[in-house]
Amino acid sequence: MASISNEPEREHRDEEESGANEDEDTGAQVAPIVRLEEVAVTTGEEDEDTILDLKSKLYRFDKDGSQWKERGAGTVKFLKHKDTGKIRLVMRQSKTLKICANHLVTSGMTVQEHAGNDKSCVWHARDFSDGELKDELFCIRFASVENCKAFMQKFKEVAESEEEKEESKDASDTAGLLEKLTVEEKVTEEKKVEKPVEKVASASAEKAVEEKKSEESVPST
């Protein structure tokens, strides 16, 4: 009798185990309630190559309050345009991706270590991060001295490269101007040489006409 009374319990356990196994792997596919489509996000950096990329924190000097104010923590980059070769500095906040620095690195720009902190450096720039050009004094702080030195080195290399390009362009423009002046002087000299020849030819023709008229006016004997 005991064996008979235990049989339903065993069958019930078998059903529970079977049901549990079926719940674990039913093979059913549940469609998502909302379908999210991939959206192409443009950053404006698609036509540029990154030549330096470092984590940092940026500050700007507030002239009115005479104090440094934080602009954001994120990634600072040097970006080189694939067509023009121009290089700009761009920094975005890590969470919002909001731009907190955006300016070209041009000839004559300098960067120097911030007094009393070898992990920070400062520089002046004509910044466009707020949608209009502003003269800004920036200070940037890195996690290590090595990163700060790498940033300063790249900054100086770019500025010096832009200065060399300008000098090369000026030399080329000067050479072109001198060549143009030389050609113009040569043409002017050629014209000056041609004018006396024309006058001589004209005078000779006039003299020949007068002589012919004189011969015709002499009475025959």
Residues forming beta bridges with residue 113, ordered by sequence position: 121
**How far apart are the C-alpha atoms of 30 and 213, rounded to whole Å?**
120
**How far apart are the C-alpha atoms of 51 and 206, rounded to whole Å?**
79
Computed on alpha carbons and rounded to an integer, the radius of gyration of the chain in Å comes to 42
Would you state the pLDDT for residue 217?
Answer: 56
Specify the DSSP element, H or E, that contains 53: strand 48-62
Per-residue exposure over 44-67, b if at least 16 CB sit within 10 Å of its own CB, e if not = eeeebeeebebebbbbbeeeeeee
pTM: 0.61
What is the residue type of 122? V
**How far apart are the C-alpha atoms of 70 and 43, rounded to whole Å?**
23
The tens place of each residue's pLDDT in the chain, 221 residues long, gives 444 444 444 444 555 555 545 555 566 666 667 776 766 667 788 999 999 999 999 999 999 999 999 999 999 999 999 999 999 999 999 999 999 999 999 999 999 999 989 999 999 999 999 999 999 999 999 999 999 999 999 999 999 999 998 887 766 767 667 777 776 666 666 666 555 545 545 556 666 656 666 665 555 54
